Amino acid sequence: MLPLLTLTLAQAQDKPVYRCPGPPVLYTDALSPQEARDKGCRTIEGALITIVQSPKPRATTTAAATASRPGDSRVDPAAQKARDSDARRILADELKREEDRLAAMQAEYNNGEPERRGDERNFAKYAERAAEMKAAIQRKEADIAAIKREIAKLAS
């Protein structure tokens, strides 16, 4: 029997949960309100959240399962080295792009004082945009740290 846990949004968290369109449909609370609007996501308000724990797959140790995995299916060391090299290059390129984007975001953020736009006559709108920019910078920094961890795994 699978355990079910149902909570209302107000009980579960203070952050809004968004339903984003597209295949596959995405439910997330990791977006800022501006990012959610840009992606066409809608807030799920007052809805129940159900978390279903999936069962763990059963391990099969039958003769048929072991026969389907012959011992000679190992990857050639030269081919594996080439794959690792490609993976490192791809991650390094991605790291460079993300660091460039972070630098641009930080320049736009201007140490917490971004330039005001014409539609931000109300200070609350300006403050909200600045907070969204700060959150986006923090997410970008976390992404960069994750890429660096992946590169470190490949180096060892």
DSSP characters for the chain?
Answer: ---EEEEEHHHH-SSPEEEE-SSSPEEES-S-HHHHHHHT-EEE-S-EEEEEPPPPPPP---HHHHHTS-TT-PPPHHHHHHHHHHHHHHHHHHHHHHHHHHHHHHHHHTTT-PPPPTT--SHHHHHHHHHHHHHHHHHHHHHHHHHHHHHHHHH-
How many CB atoms are closer than 10 A to CB 126?
17
pLDDT one-digit tens code per residue, 78-103: 888 899 899 999 999 999 999 999 99
pTM (two decimals)? 0.50
pLDDT class for 118, splitting at 50, 70, 90? confident
Q: Is the pLDDT of residue 148 over 60?
A: yes
Beta-carbon contacts of residue 130 (< 8 Å; ≥ 6 apart)? 109, 112, 113, 114
The pLDDT-based confidence of 24 (bands split at 50, 70, 90) is confident
Q: How many CB atoms are closer than 10 A to CB 17?
A: 20
Q: Is the pLDDT of residue 127 over 60?
A: yes
In single-letter form, the type of residue at position 147 comes to I
Pair of tokens at residue 146: 């994750």
Q: What is the pLDDT of residue 10?
A: 41
Closest CA to 38 of 24, 21, 25: 21
pLDDT (0 to 100) of residue 98: 96
Weakest mean pLDDT among 32-41, 64-73, 78-87: 64-73
Separation between Cα atoms, residue 27 and residue 32, nearest integer Å? 13
**pLDDT score at 33:** 84
| Per-residue confidence (pLDDT) for residue 5, from 0 to 100 | 40
CA 77 – CA 89 distance, rounded (Å): 18
Q: Is the model more confident about 17 or about 139?
A: 139
Instruction: Kindly report which listed range (30-39, 56-65, 123-132) carries the lowest average pLDDT score.
Output: 56-65
